[in-house]
Amino acid sequence: MKFQSIFILLIQINFSCGDFIKSGKLTDNENEYRLKTCGMEGLPIPSSEPTLTNTSDTWMWYSESKSSNRYSGATLISSRHFLTISNNILKDKMVWIHNGSNFTPKCLGNNLNQEVPQDVVNTLNLISFDCPPSENSNCKNRTAKPVKAYLLNICDPYVKKWFHIIHSPMIVEVKEVYAKSTPCLDGSISSFGDIYSYRFWSNKGFIGMSVKVNKTHRNSLVVTEFTNNWTDRGGPLISVKNGKWSVIGYDATGATLKKGTFLKWFYRVQRLKNGICEVSGVCDRMMTSAPTTTTSTTELTTTVTSSGSSENLKTTTLPTNLEPEYDYDEYEDYPTNSEYLELDYKFLMDTVAGSSFRNIKIFVFLILFFVI
Ligand SMILES: *[C@@H]1O[C@H](CO)[C@@H](O)[C@H](O)[C@H]1NC(C)=O
Ligand SMILES: *[C@@H]1O[C@H](CO)[C@@H](O)[C@H](O)[C@H]1NC(C)=O
Ligand SMILES: *[C@@H]1O[C@H](CO)[C@@H](O)[C@H](O)[C@H]1NC(C)=O
Ligand SMILES: *[C@@H]1O[C@H](CO)[C@@H](O)[C@H](O)[C@H]1NC(C)=O
Ligand SMILES: *[C@@H]1O[C@H](CO)[C@@H](O)[C@H](O)[C@H]1NC(C)=O
C-alpha cells in the first residue's frame, strides 16, 4: 500500500512538472501531444516554378544573425524548437561569425551534437512574416527569443568533411510557445508523398517549389526540378502524404549538384532524428520492450541491409555522364569501409544507452522515495 501511494505521488510530480516547465526539452506529455497533432497545418501548395508563398502565421520562419545580417530558413518542429542550419553563426571554415575565432567541436565518446555557446545564441533572432513581404507597408514581423541552440551531428565525419559546403543542421529552442500544429519529422522512403521545397530568398520572402526526389542516400536526399538563386538562404524539404505534412530534408546552401541540372542536395532528416530527440525531446514514440543484446544485433543487421538497398537505388539512377559539382557521392559510397559500420554501431549504442539511462533515473527516484 505504501509503495502504491509513493508511486501515485511520483506520477503527480511528473505531471505537474510537465505543466509548469515550459523550457528545455519537450516533456513526454508534450511530445505525445506533438505526435498526435503534427502535420495537420500546411502551407500553400507551390507549382514547379518558384512561387512566392504566404507563410504568415505558420511554422515557416527564418533566423537572422544580428551581428552579421545573415539569414537562414527555420522550421518549427515543436511548440518551441526550430530546425535550421548553422550558416548564420559559423563561416564555412568553422569560424564564429560574431568574433572571428575558430570553432573546434569537442567530440567526446558517442556524442555527435554540441551546444552553441550562449553569447552566440544571443546573436540570433527568429522571425516570421505577419503578412506576405511584398505588402510590407504597415506589416510587422513577429520575433521569438532563442534560449538554447545545438549543432546537430557536428561530430559525424560526414558533416565534418562537407561542412564547408553544407554547414551543419541546428536546433534552436525559443522562449515563446507556438500553439498550433507543427510538421512531423519523417524520412522513411515509403512515407514520401508529394514533395515541396520552401526556401527563404533574402530579398524576397519564402519561395515554394514542387520538386521530385531523384536519389535517397543514407545521409542525404537529392531532388530534381529545383531552381537555384544566389539569394537563397535555405529551408525544409517537405513531404505531404494523405494530408500529413512532414519535414524529410533540410538545407541552407545555394549549392546545386551541377549547374543547369536542377539537382539539389538536402540533409536527410531520418539521419538527424537521434540527435534532434537527444537535444529537444522531439522524438518518435518509444518502442515498448527493453533493449537486449539480441535486439541490438537484429537492428544492426537491418541497418546494414537498408543501406545496401539505398546503394542499389543510387547505382540504378545515377547517369554515367553526370559529374556532381560537389562529389557528395564519394562519401556516400563509404559503406564499403569498416569505419562506416563502426559509426552505425555507435549510433545504435547511443540509442540503447540513452533509454537505459532514463530507466536508471526513474529507478533512482523510486529508491530515493523509499528511503525517505
Ligand atoms: C496570408 O495568410 C494569412 C494567414 O492564413 C491570411 O490571413 C492572409 O489573408 C494571407 N494573405 C494573402 C495576401 O493571401
Ligand atoms: C569567440 O566566441 C567563442 C564562442 O563563444 C568563444 O569560445 C571564444 O573564446 C571567443 N573568442 C574570443 C577571441 O573572444
Ligand atoms: C521583415 O523582414 C523582412 C526580411 O528580412 C525585411 O525586409 C522587412 O523589412 C521586415 N519588416 C519589418 C517591419 O521589420
Ligand atoms: C535523376 O536526375 C537525372 C539528371 O537530371 C535524370 O537523368 C534521372 O532521370 C533522374 N532520376 C529520377 C529517378 O528522377
Ligand atoms: C533570383 O532572385 C532575384 C531577386 O529576387 C531575381 O531578380 C532573379 O530573377 C532570380 N533568379 C532566378 C534564376 O530565379
Question: Domain check: are 120 and 259 in the same one?
Answer: no
Residue 289 maps to a domain? no
CATH number for the domain harbouring residue 264: 2.40.10.10
User: Are 142 and 104 found together in one domain?
Assistant: yes
Same domain, 192 and 148: no
Model pTM score = 0.76
Ligand 3 binding pocket mutation candidate from 141, 199, 201 (most atoms within 8 A of CB): 141
Tell whether 30 is covered by a domain: no
Quote the cell numbers at residue 124: 540570433
Residues 6+ away with beta carbon under 8 Å from 285: 32, 35
Note whether 166 and 229 are within 8 A (CB): no
Alpha-carbon dihedral sign for residues 180, 186, 192, 195: positive
Q: Residue 117 CA: which ligand 2 atom is closest?
A: 5
The reply to whether 143 and 194 lie within a common domain is: no
172-176, 216-220, 269-273, 356-360: the lowest-pLDDT one = 356-360
One domain for residues 66 and 93: yes
CB-based contacts of 153: which residues, under 8 Å, 6+ apart?
Answer: 112, 113, 159, 168, 169, 271, 272, 275
Which residue among 107, 142, 174 closes a domain? 174
Question: Residue with the nearest Cα to atom 14 of ligand 4?
Answer: 214
Of 235, 253, 270, the one marking the end of a domain is 270
Domain encompassing residue 240: 44-52+183-270
Give pLDDT tens digits for 306-339: 332 332 222 222 222 222 333 343 333 322 222 3
Give the HSE-up count for residue 168: Cα atoms under 13 Å, Cβ half-sphere: 32
Residue with CA nearest ligand 2 atom 8: 101
Same-domain pairing of 227 and 265: yes
Nearest CA to 183 out of 124, 131, 244 is that of 244
Residue nearest atom 9 in ligand 2 by C-alpha distance = 101
- Listed residues 237, 255, 270: the one ending a domain: 270
Residue of 65, 98, 101, 116 to mutate, ligand 2, most atoms within 8 A of C-beta: 101
Burial of 218 (0-12, 13-18, 19+ CB in 10 A): buried
CB 318 within 8 A of CB 113: no
Query: The dihedral of CA 163, 164, 165, 167: what is its sign?
Result: positive
Residues with CB under 6 A from ligand 3: 133, 136, 140-141
Residue pLDDT, tens place only, 60-113 = 999 999 888 889 999 999 999 999 999 999 998 999 999 999 999 999 888 899
Count of domains observed in the chain:
2
Considering the domain architecture, whether residues 104 and 246 belong to the same structural domain is answered as no
